[in-house]
Amino acid sequence: MQMRSFTDYLRSVDDAALLELFTLRADLISPVPSDIASLAVRACSAPSLARAIDALNQWQFQILEACAVINEPFSEKQIVAVTEKAATEVISELIARGLIYPSDDGMRLPNSVREVLGNEIAGLGPASMAKINLKKLDDAPAAATKVLERLIWGPPRGSIGDIKNPGAGVAWLLEENFMVPLDQRTVILPREVGIYLRGGKVHKDRSVVPPEIKGSKRDARNVQLAAIANVATVLRWADEILEYWAQEPADALRAGGLGVRDLKIIATHMGIDENCAAFIAELVYLAGLVTIDADDKILPTNNFDIWLTQSASVRWQALAAPWLITSRVSGLVGRAESKNTAALGPELDRVNAASTRALVLKLLAENKDVAPELESFTKRVKWCAPSKRNPGLQEEMVHWTLREAEWLGITGQGVISKYGQEFLSGADLEIIDADLPQPVDHILIQSDNTAIAPGPLVHDVAAVLAIIADIESRGGATVYRFNDTTIRRGLDHGKTGDEIISFLRKTSKTPIPQPLEYLIADVAKKHGRLRVGNTSSFIRCEDPALITQIISDKRLEILSLRRIAPEVMICDMDAHDVMNVLRNAGYLPAAESTNGMLLTGPRSSRAQSKPRPPRIIGELEVPTDAALTAAIRTIRVGEKSSHKQSTLRNIANNALGALPRTTANETLDVLLKYIQEQRSLSIGYADNNGAVSHRIIDPLKISAGSLIARDHGTGEMQTFRIPRITGVAPL
Amino acid sequence: MTDGPLIVQSDKTLLLDIDHAMSTECRRAIAPFAELERSPEHIHTYRLTNLGLWNARAAGHDAEMVIDTLIKYSRYAVPHSILVDVAETMSRYGRLRLEADPIHGLILVTTDTAVLEEVIRAKKIAPLLGVRIDNDTIAVHPSQRGQIKQSLLRLGWPAEDFAGYVDGQAHDIELKQDDWKIRPYQELAAEGFWHGGSGVVVLPCGAGKTIVGAAAMAHAKATTLILVTNTIAARQWREELLKRTTLNEDEIGEYSGAKKEIRPVTIATYQVMTKKKDGVYAHLDLFDTHDWGLIIYDEVHLLPAPIFRFTADIQSRRRLGLTATLVREDGMEGEVFSLIGPKRFDVPWKEIESQGYIAPAQCVEVRVNLSETERISYATAEPEERYRFCATTRTKRNVVESLVAHHAGEQILVIGQYIDQLDELSETLGVPLIKGETPVKEREILFNKFRTGEVTCLVVSKVANFSIDLPDATIAIQVSGAFGSRQEEAQRLGRILRPKSDGRSATFYSVVSRDTIDQDFAQNRQRFLAEQGYAYKIIDADDVFQGKI
């Protein structure tokens, strides 16, 4: 069977090869194609090829470029000739990826590969049509050499003044077909000439081996210590941001996400910079611990409550795992060039974010003895995944990922920690629990009204303390401060003074200083001494006996009176109704105003709203002379203009039967003529929806594809786009 | 994780567990770079500040040593960001240097041209600079030495000052230690100051700051100007110097309202220095009239503003500030640091107490219930009158009487703010009163009588807040004060902290009206002392009446 096409090739390979292809290009089997033919179509489609090409490292990419610039079919030998010996290995790798394939007469590229690689691959021009004698290049005149030097490494195009009158160098090159004219002003260097001048190679630097990662060595113990500190810190940050939002929910922007102001607020609250705050915000968002609620409030979710009860390793994993695979890039928040990109907002997703992150972490894991230095590390990343589309972002992504890995404790002092290694290998993370400082369940209270938790507090103690004290300092330990406001807050949360004291007595390792006990007792004594409530009416009486009688009067139960003092009762009903009920029951109440005045006499009511007498209809006032003359003037002026408009409209309507139709050139000619003669004319003009209307205009000038003219219909200057003018006709 | 005594917090505070076996060792190790903020019973709080780190650099410590110390003593892993921050902050120091130059007088030199470029563009710095000499050097107007240091500090590029100090006119001064011995901490403080060149020494009241001053003078061996709060303090300084140093009476001059002597060692009062005559400070010239080698500011927390301004101009003279409480209610601590100099020495009060150099003291807050009528009048008083009203209630007088009776035989000071109240108390108790209008001579006589024991109880106004040396006073009763002033409370306690001949402990009573703003102010006043580890005990006035103290 003859084998020329990629489909033929795919039909010929064994299962192992297909398996490898699918492993390397997972998109080919999602969904699974029905047969080899459709597989081939998919594998040759531009998106799939682009994805496959993106996955190549620098060296593989260079070989593919070399294959693409050589005429098909080609042999391995030819490729080695224009690159390096090491190319042979890569060729089989490229075959495995289906980016080149062997056929009967040599190797070929699937159809679309060249298109995906783009024009002027490797900075080389198109193949020459004419026969050329490359040897002659060696004795090219100096002027020609100078021109060539500029074009050797691409781009292969150059612009010249005028093709008919080139300089001496260019003229020689054109003559010898070493340069081909593209148009009046552009020339291009043919591929053969380029390769010849490049010394027979396609690329200047052939990146056979990956660039080395440089970095500084770190003490392994310190790395671990730093990493565990980072783990503890990131957990605390997450805790703090969520607690903060639980107390003071931030408002999401209308476009979605966290506003700059709110970001600043949480950054200040946590004592970290805004980049870090944005990262933490995204982290808890990805982990599902926070969400943007229906009323646009950013609030912790129920998961937060579950999260709080979990062990440190589980909590950490809940943060780190989504980060690893997300396509969202928190580093984009708050950059000068993208001010409106908000954390938790819709604009943070980037293609390749996850793969770049994975690559960075993989390289970190491979170089686990050094804290990589950013520059060499970035070079290595670029070699592994040369990003064709957005190299700037990739560089930043590397920087951000290293930074975020440190914040998370995947690295410590820049070196991958054992937690990071275990995490990346998917192992159990119980070592985190073992290495984190064990939670303490006690505090030390001091006479300056502070309490210190000398380590991470167990959750329920921390929760109570958060209510009855303010946090003054955070870190490995927590410093709390008590004052009357915080104690009052505790009381407002339903604790009694005694409960607070006994809680502190139980929790504190040191005796409670007497001033603090007094403080709590004092505040508790005063708390709630004043009571405030809502009511509609009150009943008071100098004689408590009468009040008692009313309270026990069965007929008045309907009023559901409540006695709040020996001489005062309150009722939720309106004072007027209460009076009526009381009167019916045979009592003799009198009304009292809010400032204590006795309201006697018959009750007479007044409306609450402002007076609004009805309008008078049918009768008119006699207008003044001035008003009359003004009215006449207005009418006359209006009449004049409407008459003018209606005549014009008539003309236009008359012409409607024959909407002017002219060709584009005619239109322009006529317009120019009328502009010169300054005369009115009628045009057909298409609006946004394609409906053509008839206008009478005075053309004024033409500029930038538009006609500026006065429309008689509106009497205003208007801009007409010339392509939309369907035709012109004289009036 | 080690089991160290130190916890490094992410807000750059350091918590030192003083019940830990290694706490003393750790305290010594972190003292050079961390500033003591609070020292209550169990956990002391230090803070890493830029200033503190730069001072450590100036004293020859490097970032590595600071980081090693933190890691060595830390209980938990130290946050990496803090270590990075320490290294970065410390590396900022010394990139700019102020040097003396034979041609240009004073020059600013850099090792990092970019930094110089940055600072000379700063608005506050530009006017202080002269001609650019070369890429890395620029001339500075010599009179702006203080200003430029201050401004550079604010920009975050502190200049290392190599321009040195003028020696001043030499004058031989030695400590005369025949019947006494300088205490270790006093010596450390004086040395700390001397090596730093200028700065502030913070020691508790009664811990012998005068001797630190004398020791500093003995280091400088030069003519000295001493600025003190009032005439009585001036005389005490004089006595003390005569007793402790080789100076004789003719070498020490007093420059006050009463006398205007300028001698090799001159003691001037803030009051006379800031007195205006025809709208100008007539006596500020004193700084210039003599080639002083050392200027000592006593009670530097009270330094008045005009002296601040003048101090900026004399940055080439050595300056020593002394205080017990570097708490300024006006928040000018920063100015003190940059103009007089950074804190060179600080030690927790309780530590000095445990060494026996100041008397152990007990602080008691006596809560007085207002009578029903007093409560009503308090409730209806004008807001600005309220404090005065509740601070001077009648019930307080009864409590003071009971307390004085309870402590009969001991040396008692009754201290208050309001003269009417003090007049009444003086009358009721039948003891002498010292207030602002009491002539200096009479004050001296009364204080002397008190010292000798002829008088056992004195009622004093705020004139006795500072610098009054009354060694045997063991009881102080405070009836009212300047609102919520923390340093006043501490200074008043200081009056009774001199170690007693029989090792007795002192008691400080603060009489407070319950449920009034008096109580709120008291809480604020007590903060400084509480942070120094003085735990207040609260008792009820009824307990006092029943003798249950």
Give per-residue pLDDT as tens, A38-63: 788 888 888 888 888 888 888 888 88
- Whether B535 sits inside 8 A of A412 (CB atoms) is no
Distances (CA, A) of A59 to A54, A82, A392, B543: 12, 13, 20, 91
User: Do B370 and B505 belong together in one domain?
Assistant: yes
User: Do B333 and B472 belong together in one domain?
Assistant: no
- Residue carrying structure tokens 């102001």: A261
Considering A38-42, A127-131, B74-78, B183-187, the range whose residues carry the highest mean pLDDT is: B183-187
User: Do B273 and B329 belong together in one domain?
Assistant: yes
Residue type, A381: V
B176: in domain: no
Distances (CA, A) of A330 to A230, B407, B531: 18, 70, 42
Cα distance between residue A410 and residue B332, in whole Å: 44
Task: Return the pLDDT at B477.
Answer: 92
Cα distance between residue B148 and residue B146, in whole Å: 6
Task: Return the pLDDT at A201.
Answer: 80
- Of chain A, the end-to-end C-alpha distance in Å amounts to 75
Q: Within 10 A of A83 (CB to CB), how many other CB atoms are there?
A: 23
The bridge status of strand A297-300 relative to strand A290-292 is: antiparallel
Res. A334 pLDDT band, cuts 50 70 90: confident
Q: Which residue has the higher pLDDT, B141 or B265?
A: B265
- Phi/psi at A655 (5° precision): -75, -10
Cα distance between residue B86 and residue A395, in whole Å: 28
| Chain A interface with B: residues with Cβ < 8 Å | 222, 225-226, 228-230, 232-233, 236, 271, 406, 412-413, 435, 437, 444, 446-450, 452, 454-455, 473-477, 479, 510, 513-515, 518-519, 522, 526
User: Do B347 and B394 belong together in one domain?
Assistant: no
Report the residue of B1, B6, B17, B534 to disrupt the A interface, i.e. the one with the largest count of A CBs within 10 Å. Answer: B1
- Whether B15 sits inside 8 A of A514 (CB atoms) is no
Cα distance between residue B414 and residue B426, in whole Å: 9
Task: Return the pLDDT at A503.
Answer: 94
Of A430, A214, A405, whose CA–CA distance to A313 is shortest? A430
User: Do B517 and B477 belong together in one domain?
Assistant: yes
- Whether B41 sits inside 8 A of A412 (CB atoms) is no
Cα distance between residue B35 and residue A328, in whole Å: 43
Lowest mean pLDDT among A514-518, A639-643, B505-509: A639-643
Q: Is the dihedral of CA A597, A599, A604, A607 positive or negative?
A: positive
Directed axis angle between helix B209-220 and helix B231-244, to 10°?
60
Please count the residues of chain B. Answer: 549
Directed axis angle between helix A168-175 and helix A142-151, to 10°?
80
User: Do B282 and B217 belong together in one domain?
Assistant: yes
Q: How many helices (H) and strands (E) does chain B have?
A: 22, 25
Give per-residue pLDDT as tens, B206-245: 888 889 999 999 998 999 999 998 888 888 899 889 989 9
Q: Is the dihedral of CA A467, A473, A479, A483 positive or negative?
A: negative
B175: in domain: no
Q: How far is B84 from chain A (nearest CA, A)?
A: 10
> Does residue B2 have a pLDDT over 80?
no
Q: How far is A218 from chain B (nearest CA, A)?
A: 13
B398: in domain: yes
Distances (CA, A) of B433 to A543, B123, B427, B436: 57, 54, 9, 10
Of B229, B320, B323, whose CA–CA distance to B271 is shortest? B229
B170: in domain: no
Cα distance between residue A153 and residue A203, in whole Å: 8
Q: How many domains does chain B have?
A: 4
Residue type, A609: S
Res. B15 pLDDT band, cuts 50 70 90: very high
- Whether B41 sits inside 8 A of A452 (CB atoms) is no
Task: Return the pLDDT at A400.
Answer: 92
B168: in domain: no
Q: Are A316 and A432 in contact (CB under 8 A)?
A: yes
Cα distance between residue B61 and residue B32, in whole Å: 8
How large is the average pLDDT for residues A635-649?
57
Cα distance between residue A134 and residue A426, in whole Å: 58
Q: Are A685 and A695 in contact (CB under 8 A)?
A: yes
Give per-residue pLDDT as tens, A493-521: 888 899 999 999 999 998 998 889 989 99
Q: For residue A584, with 0-12 CB atoms within 10 Å meaning exposed, 13-18 middle and 19 or more buried, which class applies?
A: exposed
- Of chain B, the end-to-end C-alpha distance in Å amounts to 47
H helix intervals, A109-161: 113-117, 142-151
User: Do B475 and B374 belong together in one domain?
Assistant: yes
How large is the average pLDDT for residues B501-523?
87
CA B359 to chain centre: 19
Q: b/e map of B190-223 (b: 16 or more CB within 10 Å)?
A: bebbbebebbbbbbbbbbbbbbbbbbbbbbbbbb
User: Do B321 and B236 belong together in one domain?
Assistant: yes
Of B4, B13, B97, whose CA–CA distance to B52 is shortest? B13
Cα distance between residue A283 and residue A139, in whole Å: 65
Of B171, B329, B308, whose CA–CA distance to B227 is shortest? B308
B174: in domain: no
> Does residue B157 have a pLDDT over 80?
yes
- Whether B9 sits inside 8 A of A454 (CB atoms) is no
How large is the average pLDDT for residues B108-133?
85
Cα distance between residue A123 and residue A183, in whole Å: 19
Write down which residue in B290, B323, B353 finishes a domain. Answer: B353
- Whether A514 sits inside 8 A of B535 (CB atoms) is yes
Q: Chain B contacts of A233, Cβ < 8 Å? A: 10, 79
- Cα angle value B269/B275/B281 (rounded, 5°): 110
Write down which residue in B92, B125, B144 finishes a domain. Answer: B92
In terms of CA atoms, which chain A residue is nearest residue B1?
A225
Give per-residue pLDDT as tens, B252-289: 999 888 888 888 899 998 888 888 877 777 777 777 77
How large is the average pLDDT for residues B418-440?
89
Q: How many CA atoms lie less than 13 Å away from B192 in the CB half-sphere?
A: 24
All residues at 6 or more sequence positions from A325 whose CB lies less than 8 Å from its CB, including other chains: A354
| Chain B interface with A: residues with Cβ < 8 Å | 1, 7-11, 13, 15, 17, 38, 40-43, 45, 71, 74-80, 365, 515, 519, 523, 526-527, 530-531, 533-538
User: Do B473 and B335 belong together in one domain?
Assistant: no
- Whether B41 sits inside 8 A of A446 (CB atoms) is yes
Share of chain B above pLDDT 70, in %: 97
Task: Return the pLDDT at A482.
Answer: 93
How large is the average pLDDT for residues B488-494?
86
Q: Within 10 A of A551 (CB to CB), how many other CB atoms are there?
A: 15
Q: Which residue has the higher pLDDT, B358 or A672?
A: B358
| Residue spans of beta strands (DSSP E) within A583-646 | 591-592, 598-599
Q: Are B313 and B146 in contact (CB under 8 A)?
A: yes
> Does residue A632 have a pLDDT over 70?
no
DSSP result, A243-310: HHHHHSPEEBPTTSSB-HHHHHHHHHHHT--HHHHHHHHHHHHHTTSEEE-TTSEEEE-HHHHHHHHS
The bridge status of strand B318-323 relative to strand B199-202 is: parallel
Q: Are A80 and A88 in contact (CB under 8 A)?
A: yes
Q: Is the peptide bond before B348 cis (omega within 30 degrees of 0)?
A: no
Res. A556 pLDDT band, cuts 50 70 90: confident
Give per-residue pLDDT as tens, A218-246: 888 888 888 888 898 899 889 889 988 98
Q: ipTM of this complex > 0.95? A: no
Task: Return the pLDDT at A453.
Answer: 92
| Residue spans of beta strands (DSSP E) within B245-289 | 252-255, 265-269, 276-277, 280-281
- Whether A225 sits inside 8 A of B11 (CB atoms) is no
> Does residue B382 have a pLDDT over 90?
no
B172: in domain: no
User: Do B66 and B110 belong together in one domain?
Assistant: no
> Does residue A621 have a pLDDT over 80?
no
SS3 content of chain B, % helix, strand, coil (to 5): 40, 20, 35
* CATH code of B472's domain: 3.40.50.300
Task: Return the pLDDT at A80.
Answer: 84
**What tokens were used for A254?**
């209308």
Res. A653 pLDDT band, cuts 50 70 90: low
> Does residue A133 have a pLDDT over 80?
no
Considering A28-37, B386-395, B458-467, the range whose residues carry the highest mean pLDDT is: B386-395
**What tokens were used for A318?**
């809940």
Give per-residue pLDDT as tens, A383-440: 888 877 677 788 888 999 999 999 999 998 888 999 999 898 888 888 888 888 888 8
User: Do B216 and B258 belong together in one domain?
Assistant: yes
Q: Are B411 and B498 in contact (CB under 8 A)?
A: no
Domain extent for B526? 359-545
Q: Which residue has the higher pLDDT, A119 or A419?
A: A419
**What tokens were used for B471?**
């060694």
Res. A70 pLDDT band, cuts 50 70 90: confident
Q: How many CA atoms lie less than 13 Å away from B55 in the CB half-sphere?
A: 26
Distances (CA, A) of B160 to A663, B55, B57, B110, B143: 83, 10, 9, 10, 17
User: Which residues on adjacent β-strands are paired with residue A181?
Assistant: A187
Res. A639 pLDDT band, cuts 50 70 90: low
User: Do B337 and B364 belong together in one domain?
Assistant: no
Q: b/e map of B443-463 (b: 16 or more CB within 10 Å)?
A: beebbeebeeeebbbbbbbbb
Cα distance between residue A308 and residue A322, in whole Å: 18
> Does residue B419 have a pLDDT over 80?
yes
- Residue carrying structure tokens 């710095």: B125
Share of chain A above pLDDT 70, in %: 92
B47: in domain: yes
Write down which residue in B353, B375, B397 finishes a domain. Answer: B353
Q: Which residue has the higher pLDDT, B173 or A115?
A: B173
Res. B114 pLDDT band, cuts 50 70 90: confident
Task: Return the pLDDT at A200.
Answer: 77
**What tokens were used for B333?**
């601590």
Q: How far is A406 from chain B (nearest CA, A)?
A: 9
